[in-house]
Amino acid sequence: MTKVEPRLMVRLIEANSVTGIMGFLTQNKLHLFFALSLWFKAILAIPEVVAGIAAFVVSHRTLLTCLLWITTNGFGEDPRDFLAALFLRALQHVSVGEQRFVAVYLLGHGAIKLWLIAGLLREKLWYFPVSLSVFSLLIAYQLYRYTSTHTIWLLLITGLDLVVIALTWHEYRELRANKEARAMCS
């Protein structure tokens, strides 16, 4: 006899009606979207960790020299290039203390997200409430930062985080219900 995963068995039992089949298909799509959103967040978190490490180990002068080299030899062929000037101006006004803060923030933010995402993808139940709390705190901080920066990117990242929170909550409820159903079947 073939062994069927309990989560799938519960869903197959529920799929005895047309609404059950539609719910089964919708649930699979939501689960896929949940997994894809987590992988997307992980892909965004990796450069955060790398940038955080770089901000720790690379001196301010070296960062400025690299940025000058990139902007003059790369996309900064035009001396009035808006993006190159923006990067240079931003880095010139960053103090060593601010660089350390950015390093700690990026490294911590990226590492915590990767750790939480790994737990969510492994479907460890206790990661879900922890992730919901941490993601909510990050959203609160992003909205606070938005009040002073008015950067559209913060709103876009916050929107993505809100979608991930909603999907995480939905996935948590499904996993808990499936765990309870398996316990009742045992």
Domain map (residue ranges) of the chain: 38-110, 123-186
pLDDT at 12 over 60: no
CA distance 33 to 163: 10
Report the alpha-carbon distance of residue 15 to residue 35 in Å, rounded.
23
Q: Give the HSE-up count for residue 58: Cα atoms under 13 Å, Cβ half-sphere.
A: 16
pTM, full prediction: 0.69
pLDDT at residue 9 tops 80: no
- Is residue 5 very low, low, confident or very high in pLDDT (cuts 50, 70, 90)? low
Rounded to whole angstroms, the Cα distance separating 62 from 54 reads 11
Give the residue-averaged pLDDT of 2-22: 53
Residues 6+ apart with CB under 8 A from 184: none
pLDDT digits (tens, 9 = 90+) for 122-176: 999 999 999 999 999 989 988 998 898 888 888 888 998 999 999 999 999 999 9
Give the separation between CA 184 and CA 186, rounded to whole angstroms. 5
Query: What mean pLDDT value characterizes the chain?
Result: 80
C-beta of residue 101 within 8 angstroms of C-beta of residue 45:
no
Place of tokens 């991930």: 164
Which amino acid is located at 169 in the chain?
W
C-alpha distances in Å from residue 131, one per residue of 47, 51, 134: 20, 23, 5
Instruction: Write the CB contacts of 36 (distance below 8 Å, at least 6 apart in sequence).
Output: none
Asked if 55 and 99 count as a contact pair (C-beta separation under 8 A), the reply is: yes
Please report the pLDDT score of residue 18 as a whole number: 46
